[in-house]
Amino acid sequence: MPGFHLSSFLVDDRLLIDTGSVASALEVDEQAKIDHILLTHSHLDHTGGLPLLADNIFGTRATPVQVHGIAPTLDGVRRNLLNDVLWPDFTRIPSSAFPTLLYREVPEDGPFEVAGFTITAIRVNHAVECVAYFIQSRSGTLLHIGDTGPTEAVWRHARTVPRLQAVCIEATFPNRMQEVADVSGHLTPQSLEKELEKLDRDVPVYVYHLKPNFRREILAELKRLRRPALHILEDGTLYRF
């Protein structure tokens, strides 16, 4: 909706998590600085900016932007988005030897290095294959959870992380739509509360992915959780951890 960007998070100018709003939120020179993209899953509100980003930065970089994701996510983008039908395949433009984008499959059996960070991908519970990313630097770790319903593995891993600085997590529907949330693999404020109890520690929690037409209702329900460390992510805002 006007005034509400799709999911996209820029980390230290070079690492992008999901691409929903990248083409509308960043100037072209800022887009061209991005070296790596982490895709949580293939849904359009998280990948839809990738074709536009590729088109905007074409010819401006000496090296391709590396697009990281688990195999089902990259396969979905390859077959259904950058497929030479909906949009040109920028992994072969201007040539296969010198592409604008380069796919990199994310390992699920351990951490990997990207843009100076140590990244660990953990599956979460969504309508399509989806992951959360633990993004670790020397100062600590940020947990960014893609779309999810109630899940387990990500919290087991989070409890082992020694310096967890913050958690970014969704709350898509109001409580009265819990059944819809469960079926579609999303959270409401009441199911978010149950998920955060699994973490078993107090860290700042940043909530995003509120459906705009239910925003006021969701905000009121989040407020009633009475969690002082719970914050609502705001479009265009810079956060420091």
Strand partners, 69: 105
* Residue 7 in this model has a pLDDT that exceeds 90: yes
Q: What CATH number is attached to the domain comprising 209?
A: 3.60.15.10
Domain that holds residue 124: 108-234
- Contact criterion met (CB below 8 Å) for 158 and 199: yes
- Contact criterion met (CB below 8 Å) for 117 and 15: yes
DSSP 185-229: T---HHHHHHHHHHH-S---EEEE---GGGHHHHHHHHHTT--TT
* Residue 198 in this model has a pLDDT that exceeds 90: yes
The last residue of a domain, from among 60, 84, 106: 106
191 vs 170: CA distance, rounded Å? 11
The last residue of a domain, from among 75, 91, 106: 106
Does 239 fall in a domain?
Answer: no
**93-109: average pLDDT:** 96
Strand partners, 122: 132
Q: Which helix (H) or strand (E) holds 22?
A: helix 22-25
Element counts in the chain: helices (H) and strands (E)? 9, 12
Predicted confidence at residue 200, as pLDDT, reads: 87
Predicted confidence at residue 1, as pLDDT, reads: 86
pLDDT more than 90, % of the chain: 97
Separation of CA 16 from chain center? 8
DSSP 90-159: TTSSB-SSSBSEEEEEPPSSS-EEETTEEEEEEEE--SS-EEEEEEEETTEEEEEE-S-SS-SHHHHHHT
Predicted confidence at residue 139, as pLDDT, reads: 92
The pTM assigned to this predicted structure is 0.97
Q: Which amino acid is at 180?
A: V
Taking the CA atoms of the chain, what radius of gyration do you get in angstroms?
Answer: 18
* Residue 115 in this model has a pLDDT that exceeds 90: yes
Q: What is the pLDDT of residues 146-193, one digit of tens each?
A: 999 999 999 999 999 999 999 999 999 999 999 999 999 999 999 999
**48 with 142, same domain?**
no
38 vs 36: CA distance, rounded Å? 7
Looking at the structure of the chain, the number of domains it has is 2
- Report whether the peptide linkage leading into residue 94 is cis, meaning its omega lies within 30 degrees of zero: yes
Predicted confidence at residue 107, as pLDDT, reads: 96
Q: What is the pLDDT of residues 200-240, one digit of tens each?
A: 889 999 999 999 999 999 999 999 999 999 999 999 999 99
**73 with 1, same domain?**
yes
The last residue of a domain, from among 49, 79, 106: 106
Predicted confidence at residue 117, as pLDDT, reads: 98
- Contact criterion met (CB below 8 Å) for 21 and 4: no
**102 with 136, same domain?**
no
Does 128 fall in a domain?
Answer: yes
**144 with 32, same domain?**
no
Token reading at 34: 């991005």
107's CB contacts (< 8 A; 6+ apart) are 121
